[in-house]
Structures are given as C-alpha cells and as structure tokens.
Amino acid sequence: MLPLGVYGLVTAVYEDSFDRAMETIPRARGIVGDDVCELWRIKHEKEDLAAIDGAVETISEFAEFAARLEADPALAQAWKRQGASLANGFWTRMALGTPSLHPSFFTPDEIALPTNRMEQRFWSKPWSLSRYLVFLAVLNFVICVREALDEIVSPQRVTEAIEGLKVLGQSCLESDDEGMRSLVPAVQVAIDDLLEAEAPSRSKAIQILYLQGLLRALSDTDTLGPHWRRFLKRLGKRRLFWRLSGVNP
C-alpha cells in the first residue's frame, strides 16, 4: 500500500497535468465534454474571479480591460474559464432592456420582418399547423427571426454593435452602482461573442439586441393581427418563446 503522501503527490501531478492539457490543447474541451469543463471552471472559480475583479479595479478606461487580457497570460486563462459564466445574467438583463445599447439599434421595418414573414408563410394559410400548435409556431417563428438576421446583419452593423458595447462598458465602469460596475467583464464577453461568432447573425449579442426590439413590438398588442394576439395569449401560459430564445425572466 502506498503512503498517503504519495496519493497526494499523484493527485497533485494529475490535476496539474489536467490543467495544462485544458490550457494548451485546443481540442481539449471538445474531448472531455461540457460536464468536465464545468468542473474545471468551478475548481478555479474563486481565484479566477479574484483576478478578473482585480483587473477591473485597476483600469479607468474600458478599452484597457481587453489590453490587460492580451498582456497577461494568467488573466487570459482565467477569462477563458469564467467568461461565458460571467455573461449568463447579463444576457437576461439585456433581453429585458436593462442595460440597453440603443432602443432603436434595429429599425421598425427590420423588427417587422419575421412577424410579417410568419403571417405570410404560415398564418395566412388555413391548413398550416402553426395556426394550431404553439410549439410548432414557436419553432417556425425562430426560423423567421434567424432568416431576418441573416439578411440585415452586415459587418457594418457588427461594428456599430461593438462600438455601442464599448460605450456601455465605459458607462458601467464609471458607475457608482456596484451592480452596474460588476457588468464590465460581461460586456467584454459580449464583444468577444461578436468578434468570434461564425456568422454575425449567430452572435448571441446580436440576437439579444434584436430580441429587445422584437419584445417591444410584440408588447403593443393593439397593432397586432388576431393570429398574433391569439398566439401570444397561448404563449404566455407556456413561456416557450423565452426558453427557445435562451432567456429566463
């Protein structure tokens, strides 16, 4: 039987090797799976958040945060582990409009694209199952939204969104409200999301910005047709739209 100290040494060597693999092998996360990655994140959460919070406390300009991430490998690794988790609450708050980049980032005509398409493609046809099955209607509406984003989100719009997020980040950094100030890292996550998305319309930041305008439009029930009013009434009971959009108010 091995001495207890040897077991401790073996455990330390294993953990160190695992950390090195996760930090240096690009495909490591895909190999070990989401559950193991989450355990790895939790293991380092306290030290990582301390490093990230410390970086925020030492900057006076929001742009300095990204520069610190580039210059400090240890901070960059903490960011790699914790960034997505930091943004979870931020996405929900953005979807509900606080904070918001700009209330009219998307024009009314752009916001109306998927709602009009849903009417023309599905609800104008008596035989369409989307008129009767809420879940199917939600799925088809999500498709309409994605099609609209593919059409209207250009590289220029992405640049505008990033600039808006930078302004928001600076505002959070200068805020006396600790809740707003705590959003600084999450705003940087949103910027990273825009820069790294395989397609602009698949960026969660863009989708949330669009959802802000879409929810405002759908809340004005007086301007909606009977199919939309009936759909939203049924949807309110099931909250399917929230679940599919990734928002949980």
Greatest CA separation found in the chain?
77
- pTM exceeds 0.85, yes or no: no
Region of poorest pLDDT, from 134-148, 170-184, 221-235: 221-235
- Annotate the chain with three-state secondary structure: CCCHHHHHHHHHHHHHHHHHHHHHCCCHHHHHCHHHHHHHHHHCHHHHHHHHHHHHHCCCCCHHHHHHHHHCHHHHHHHHHHHHHHCHHHHHHHHCCCCCCCCCCCCHHHHHHHHHHHHHHHHCCCCCHHHCCHHHHHHHHHHHHHHHHHHHCCHHHHHHHHHHHHHHHHHHHHCCCHHHHCCHHHHHHHHHHHHHCCCHHHCHHHHHHHHHHHHHHHHCHHHCCHHHHHHHHHHHHHCHHHHHHCCCC
Per-residue pLDDT band at 174 (split at 50, 70, 90): very high
pLDDT in tens, 25-68: 344 455 444 555 666 567 777 888 888 888 888 999 999 999 99
Greater pLDDT, 40 or 2: 40
| Confidence (pLDDT) at 14 | 34
Kindly tell me if the per-residue pLDDT of 22 is higher than 80: no
| Confidence (pLDDT) at 60 | 92
| Confidence (pLDDT) at 147 | 92
| Confidence (pLDDT) at 178 | 85
